[in-house]
Structure 1
């Protein structure tokens, strides 16, 4: 696998779960990867694991993506370390679930600031380098919840629906420089969140999935690797649902 050889990718929320799986796959495809997480412990752990298999491929960084100034400073550091960035994967995300009638301003703001504003901050930090790249790619990890909504997640659904609109608008703006921008909408993927569901809850979710099983982070990583490669050069402004048929 060498579809991304010679390219540098920045991946947020890469300390664990889907982001980590994407980073590992990109490194296996030959890319250099900047691992972004809220904590140094998580980002460095992912970078070390990748470097064990692919020496010198990864470096870890810690930042709160909702912080515009901190993200801008991070961008300068990553560019100083790697020289350029070709691929950006906005994967960082949080949840603060609750019914709209009881949702606090803080719970709304934290989710929108991280999931949506965070993606905007990262694009601002790296857009010049990506626009100069002959293989520029931006991938935004949304969610099927952004397509269909979900009771108790109006903040999360709004952030992911916003991320889809953001992706489509950027795709139009950046197309003139041959930069593609797409969104991936995962369904129920085996993560820390799904592990917290009890058997009855899992059974209820599985009834909504035609393929009858949860997805794996590798399923998202496979899709991301394809969209970041030359094979997907003519795909932009799209939302790719990776959900076992949950949303059709």
Structure 2
């Protein structure tokens, strides 16, 4: 099985080293193509107004001066064009990609790009508790293979992917794995910090620490609160089917 690894925290991120360990348990044909620097919050963006450079760091190991989406695109169209990967893994992200986070996430968007290319794609994120006394990525490192193995033999419908989040717990305190739907946050409480740079010009800095979590039953947010690994199938078709007929009537 050929595996392509990418992320949005950059090729040298600690979570990416964890992903490489997980992938090594699944295959010996593992390739890396990830952003050269952190691209958190890049979403499903492409670099269109400047050139993107592909740099080789060793056998099967490359970085891209662009976004996570750029990384997947370049990997599939250049270094792996003769033999596409069977699996794309994106992560392990430093921090949660739960609920509405997925719309901003470069980690999830890299997996989206893989799904668009018809390749089985999975995003992985480690929710963090900065006050904990265990290794930050302990849950992902110890539970990664357990979560991924069943997914390898599971058919993925066209244009779908899977989003995995590990709770902020030591691996031996995790209560299991839950298959859950996407939850939702209350972003109205997110913070914007105003400041001035050394030249006296005003700037704004977005902060996410004050966002409220809505713990609806059966969601990824509830799974985290209950100490479970959250596994969420996602689809790329954003059409709201229930509105089609009502809108069509407006144009008759």
- Higher share in helix: 1
Query: Which structure's CA Rg is the greater one?
Result: 2
- Higher share in strand: 2
Higher RCO (CA 8 Å, separation ≥ 6 residues) = 1
Q: TM-score range with shorter-chain normalisation?
A: 0.3 to 0.5
Structure-2-length-normalised TM-score = 0.42
